[in-house]
Amino acid sequence: MTGPLIIFLVLAALAVLGAVSLILQRHPIHSALSLIVVMVALAGLYLLMGAEFVAAVQIIVYGGAIMVLFVFVIMLLNAGAEERTNFSKLATYAGVPLAVAIAGLIAAAILKSGANLSTAGPNGALTSTKNLSMLLLREFVYPFELTSFLVLVAILGAIVLAQREN
Amino acid sequence: MSDFLTEYAFLIVPIVKIVILVLIVLTVDAYLTWLERKVIAHIQARWGPYRVGPHGLLQPLADGVKFIFKEDPLPANVDKAGYFIAPFITLMLALTSLAVIPFGPQRFTVFGYETHVGIADVNISLLVLFAITALSVYGVALAGWASNNKYSLFGGLRSSAQMISYELALTLSVVGVLLIAGDFSLRGIIEHQDNGNLGILGWNIFGFSKDGLGFTQIIGFFCFFLAAIAETNRVPFDLPEAESELVAGYHTEYASMKFAMFFIAEYTSMITVSCLATILFFGGWVSPFPASWTLTHYLPSVLLIPFGAWLVFDGIRYETVFGRILLPGVGSVLALLGIALALFPSFNEAIQGPFWFLGKVFAFLFFYIWMRGTLPRFRYDQLMTFGWKFLLPVAIANVVITSAYLLWRMY
């Protein structure tokens, strides 16, 4: 086993464990913390692919900003541990087979493409900060700016909704 | 043996460097508490620690022994996992952030492995620091929430709110520096400030540069330092631990080594912030004198020899026998070090970078303590108003002004 493979397996296991724990935990804070573990493990995977900028931004935006708001709201509302209800019949009988089917489908698709699937190099040239900013602010500047308008609209919408209650 | 070392040098050298750095940082943390108590005591016309060792120099050791042997009770109804993991997260993140700080300009080769002063030299080191800062909110928030105590919870909530609010101003305040340097790497930012004979004027705080593409970052520094004090929860922004309202804030329920971990984390992040301020705005290891003034390279000796001599002279009259041995001993070591620096030019050249770097970091640490001894605490609403309505707009204005100036100079 090579070094990168070991690191990949550790990070992948961490991400999967965090995701499973996210569903199984009963307390919202524990779920939120599990989600942070997933985010940080994913950032590690990006780093392994040489996408340093994306990895750092993943932690800053998802691990930091977004999840802090989750944790903050849960703490502020003082949400208690959730109560387990009986699962719906549909979820019990159709859920597991469907999940297995989707996982099988994805696995089959990956297996079929086989050799065509290339792994990202250790120093992904496309993902360096400079190339990324060139792409975003030169080539795709209009879609990029339009997306930022979309985000702005969403923020304004949130403010309007919050103001209506007063 | 040497084959093994050559093959695994990429693994062994960083581990050795990490161990050395952690040991140094923990020692500095310990003596920072001593310095803080001494300086504040003298500001308030007291003596400060004086009983344990000469001039209270062994006080940190006594504190450490006390922390280890204190009882560590587990409060009732705490969230066990969160309660245990919170101090670890806080301390781990605080120590990790030091990994990307470069302490000196040298590169050297050990067992065929090229390395440098500092642990990791990544080209996104500033982003890594911000990522760690973003995560460090969780340690505090989790500690406050898991303790199952209303004062802790309020301390944790206040602290998270404060850190989220000031993180924005902190990040925006360094954008000006990034625009000038055109590089995320801390090493690159320092090297860009090394303008030969411009000396102190080449630092980002003054912003002169050989190619003319520089702009004074004094506003950026102002925003950065204020936001950084708030991020490290120090006076005058230490509301999370305002004892008159919140007992001890988020670490009320912690005792023994777990409390010590929060404490060490706080002092370590003070060191990180001081290093960062030095690197971003004050030229890192770049000397304030023009590069052609080679006589200034003897400054470390000029400072060390008289200080050592004074320590010997003062120490032989100390009231305890232990002090009469220790103080002259330390003094003569320092004086000899100063003489050795003056006699061996290659040795002297090697420590120039670290000397200026550590000197500036020490000045910032002293400033932190000075402020704690001088300023009263903000009220909570004042803190939020200041962060959102003053600091953030000023930081944005700095970005706009700097980029406008750079654009004007480029065309």
Residue for token digits 């420590």? Answer: B351
| Cβ within 8 Å, pair B124-A129 | yes
CB–CB of A31/A1 below 8 Å? no
Q: Tell me the H-state helices in B174-200.
A: 175-181, 186-193
Do B134 and A68 lie within an 8 Å CB cutoff?
A: yes
Q: Using a CB-CB distance cutoff of 8 angstroms, which residues of chain A are in contact with residue B81?
A: 30
A64 and B122 within 8 Å at the Cβ level: the answer is no
Q: What residues in A contact B127, CB-CB < 8 Å?
A: 52-53, 56-57, 60
B78 at interface of A, judged by CB pairs closer than 8 A:
no
Residues B384, B101: Cα–Cα separation, whole Å: 30
- Inter-chain touch B160–A65, beta carbons under 8 Å: no
Number of inter-chain CB pairs under 8 A, A vs B: 71
Give the pLDDT of chain B (411 residues) as one tens digit per residue.
567 777 777 778 888 888 988 999 999 999 999 999 999 899 988 888 888 878 888 888 898 898 888 888 888 888 888 888 888 988 999 898 888 888 877 777 777 677 777 787 777 888 888 888 888 888 888 888 888 888 888 888 888 888 888 888 888 888 888 888 888 888 888 888 887 777 777 787 777 777 777 788 888 898 999 998 888 877 777 776 666 667 777 777 787 888 888 889 889 989 999 999 998 888 888 888 887 777 778 888 888 888 888 888 888 888 888 888 888 888 889 888 888 888 888 888 888 888 888 999 999 999 988 988 888 888 888 888 888 899 899 999 999 998 898 888 887
Residues of A in contact with B141 (CB under 8 A): 68, 71-72, 75
Residue B245 contacts by C-beta under 8 Å, 6 or more apart in sequence? none
ipTM of the complex: 0.77
pLDDT tens, residue by residue, A23-74: 888 888 888 889 989 998 998 888 887 778 888 888 888 888 888 888 888 8
Read off φ and ψ for residue B318, nearest 5 degrees. -65, 155
- Chain A contacts of B167, Cβ < 8 Å? 64
d(CA B166, CA B156): 15
Asked if B130 and A52 come within 8 Å (Cβ–Cβ), the reply is: no
Which helix or strand (DSSP H or E) is residue A146 part of? helix A141-164
List Cβ neighbours of B138 (8 Å cut-off, separation of 6 or more).
Answer: A33, A36, A68, A71, B86, B89
What pTM does this model have? 0.85
